[in-house]
Amino acid sequence: MTTTLKIGMIGTGSIAHEHIQAYQKMDNVELVAFCDINPSQLNHMADRYGISETYSSKEALLANADIDAVSVCTWNAAHAECAIAALNAGKHVLCEKPMATSVADALAMEAAAKKNGKLLMIGFVRRFGNDAQIVTDFRDKDFFGEIYYGKATYLRRNGNPGGWFGDKSRSGGGPLIDLGVHVIDLLNYLMGQPKPISVYGATFQKLFNRPDSKDTVAYSSSTTDEKDICDVEDLASAMIRFADGSVVSIEASFSLNLKEDQGKIELFGTKGGASLAPQLELYTDINGYMTDIQLKTPTALDMNGLFYNEVAHFVDCVLNNTECLTPAADGVTIMRILDAIYQSAETGHEVMI
Ligand SMILES: NC(=O)c1ccc[n+]([C@@H]2O[C@H](COP(=O)([O-])OP(=O)(O)OC[C@H]3O[C@@H](n4cnc5c(N)ncnc54)[C@H](O)[C@@H]3O)[C@@H](O)[C@H]2O)c1
């Protein structure tokens, strides 16, 4: 194994900035080539980051034998084809969340990684926050007792990122697969990865992408289609049951008539509880007194810090064979949950996993 990891980027849109800037901070990484099917975006990014090797197809990039690993930052529906092609070409892969747009694709990706003996890491970036690490530390030292309930909201009042995000054929869905995926994964991880057994979900298409809105959105896709399609849900709500009896409840929206955007992640155990966002707080009962604990240690990281930790972990896993914190198998589990929630929303019934 080389000591300098040579990286290719497949998909050079908005989130690619985070991957690129993280790789650029590392001494043991060389960013070699960019690939994007959108030539103007590809050229813009290559100019900005000083990359001379550019490709309009993943096959051409993957034919470069010098490249050890790739970041897949395409829209969701292209994750599977890009990751599988990269793994078959002998590259390690860091694939953005959600892993795929179907369980079948996620399983095919996992199988390709196994067959080729290469790492497939899924970009569950929220696991790389200080808050997640501190909560798992408290959990492992039994601060929470039995954790039986987790609850998260990831609600945007006017936050459809545009481009492909509203086009189901490229996104696989709306806020559930885009935002809900983060908090479902994070809660499942913090709760010690209990096995999901069933879900009950509801989705709504009421406000779409607020086509008449005069306000800008906080995060936008770099893909600017002539006509913004919006055939995905704008609100999703779900309850997930796990084999150990615990339950998670989540809500995620792109468009919702609420006062302000909300991002809350809460855990409840028999001995203690926690609220992660915006700042980590822990709750317990000491000698019968209800007690709130705020840590001196900084707990909230910005996007840049989270992505640096994620990308640095990927590099460490590849170069040093470190155990991956977010392996393909976890991506498959979360994909099963997402798929089941969409099925439940369609049928109106609980769906077994
Ligand atoms: N982890 C996070 O917090 C986070 C945040 C935002 C986006 N994301 C994920 O990152 C991915 C990209 O999102 P984005 O906001 O950067 O979108 P974007 O529209 O800005 O960029 C996507 C790029 O992928 C390119 N592309 C599509 N198919 C391709 C293919 N087959 N080969 C090469 N290039 C291809 C497009 O041309 C586009 O330039 C999505 O999966 C999204 O869910 C993750």
Q: What CATH code is carried by the domain that includes residue 258?
A: 3.30.360.10
263 shares a domain with 146: yes
In the chain, % of residues over pLDDT 90: 92
Secondary structure (3-state) at 316: helix
Q: Which residues, in sequence order, are CB contacts of 290 under 8 Å at separation 6+?
A: 283
111 shares a domain with 144: no
- Taking the C-alpha atoms of residue 315 and residue 8, their distance in angstroms, rounded to an integer, is 13
168 shares a domain with 93: no
Q: Is 35 in the pocket of ligand 1 (CB under 6 A)?
A: yes
139 shares a domain with 34: no
Mean per-residue pLDDT of the chain: 96
At how many degrees (to 10) do helices 16-24 and 303-320 cross?
Answer: 60
Q: Is 132 in the pocket of ligand 1 (CB under 6 A)?
A: no
63 within domain boundaries = yes
Residue 226 pLDDT grade (very low, low, confident, very high; cuts 50, 70, 90) = low
Of 95, 123, 151, which one is at a domain's C-terminal end?
Answer: 123
- Taking the C-alpha atoms of residue 164 and residue 167, their distance in angstroms, rounded to an integer, is 5
- Taking the C-alpha atoms of residue 269 and residue 9, their distance in angstroms, rounded to an integer, is 41
**Which pLDDT value is given to residue 2?**
55
Q: Is 221 in the pocket of ligand 1 (CB under 6 A)?
A: yes
What CATH number did the domain enclosing 61 receive?
3.40.50.720
Q: Is 75 in the pocket of ligand 1 (CB under 6 A)?
A: yes
142 shares a domain with 91: no
Q: Is 171 in the pocket of ligand 1 (CB under 6 A)?
A: no
Residue 225 pLDDT grade (very low, low, confident, very high; cuts 50, 70, 90) = confident
In the chain, % of residues over pLDDT 70: 99
Pick from 12, 313, 39, 327: nearest CA to 20: 12
Taking CA atoms only, the protein residue closest to ligand 1 atom 7 is 15
Whole-number Å distance, alpha carbon 11 to ligand 1 midpoint, is: 6
Q: Between β-strands 5-10 and 69-72, what pairing exists: parallel, antiparallel or unpaired?
A: parallel
Q: Is 71 in the pocket of ligand 1 (CB under 6 A)?
A: no
* pLDDT tens-digit series, residues 237-293: 999 999 999 999 999 999 999 999 999 999 999 999 999 988 899 999 999 999 999
172 shares a domain with 65: no
188 within domain boundaries = yes
Residue 1 has pLDDT above 70, yes or no: no
Q: Is 125 in the pocket of ligand 1 (CB under 6 A)?
A: yes
Of 57, 90, 123, which one is at a domain's C-terminal end?
Answer: 123
89 shares a domain with 30: yes
261 shares a domain with 153: yes
Q: Which of 37, 44, 72, 74 for a ligand 1 pocket mutation test, highest count of atoms within 8 Å of Cβ? A: 74
Boundaries of domain holding 237 = 127-301
162 shares a domain with 109: no
Whole-number Å distance, alpha carbon 56 to ligand 1 midpoint, is: 15
286 shares a domain with 197: yes
Residue 170 has pLDDT above 90, yes or no: yes
13 within domain boundaries = yes
Residue 76 has pLDDT above 70, yes or no: yes
Query: Residue 303 CA: which ligand 1 atom is closest?
Result: 3
Taking CA atoms only, the protein residue closest to ligand 1 atom 29 is 74
- Taking the C-alpha atoms of residue 224 and residue 162, their distance in angstroms, rounded to an integer, is 7
Mean pLDDT of 185-197: 98
Q: Is 111 in the pocket of ligand 1 (CB under 6 A)?
A: no
Q: Is 101 in the pocket of ligand 1 (CB under 6 A)?
A: no
Residue 224 has pLDDT above 90, yes or no: no
345 within domain boundaries = no
107 within domain boundaries = yes
Query: Residue 124 CA: which ligand 1 atom is closest?
Result: 1
344 within domain boundaries = no
3-state DSSP helix/strand/coil percent for the chain, to nearest 5? 35, 25, 40
Whole-number Å distance, alpha carbon 320 to ligand 1 midpoint, is: 28
99 shares a domain with 10: yes
Taking CA atoms only, the protein residue closest to ligand 1 atom 38 is 13
346 within domain boundaries = no
315 within domain boundaries = no
Q: Residues in the chain, how many? A: 353
Please list, residue by residue across 5-25, b when 16 or more beta carbons sit within 10 angstroms of its beta carbon and e when fewer do: bbbbbbbbbbbbbbbbebbee
Of 104, 123, 142, which one is at a domain's C-terminal end?
Answer: 123
Mean pLDDT of 149-170: 96
- Taking the C-alpha atoms of residue 24 and residue 332, their distance in angstroms, rounded to an integer, is 30
Count: domains in the chain: 2
Q: Can you read off the two tokens belonging to residue 26?
A: 């590392």
Q: Is 13 in the pocket of ligand 1 (CB under 6 A)?
A: yes
DSSP character string of 193-261:
-PPEEEEEEEEE-SSTT-TT--SPPSS--S---SS----S-SEEEEEEEETTS-EEEEEEESB---SS-
At how many degrees (to 10) do helices 79-88 and 103-116 cross?
Answer: 10
163 shares a domain with 31: no
Quick one: how far is CA 259 from the chain centroid?
Answer: 26
* pLDDT tens-digit series, residues 279-310: 899 999 999 999 999 998 877 778 889 999 99
**Which pLDDT value is given to residue 99?**
98
- Taking the C-alpha atoms of residue 100 and residue 96, their distance in angstroms, rounded to an integer, is 9
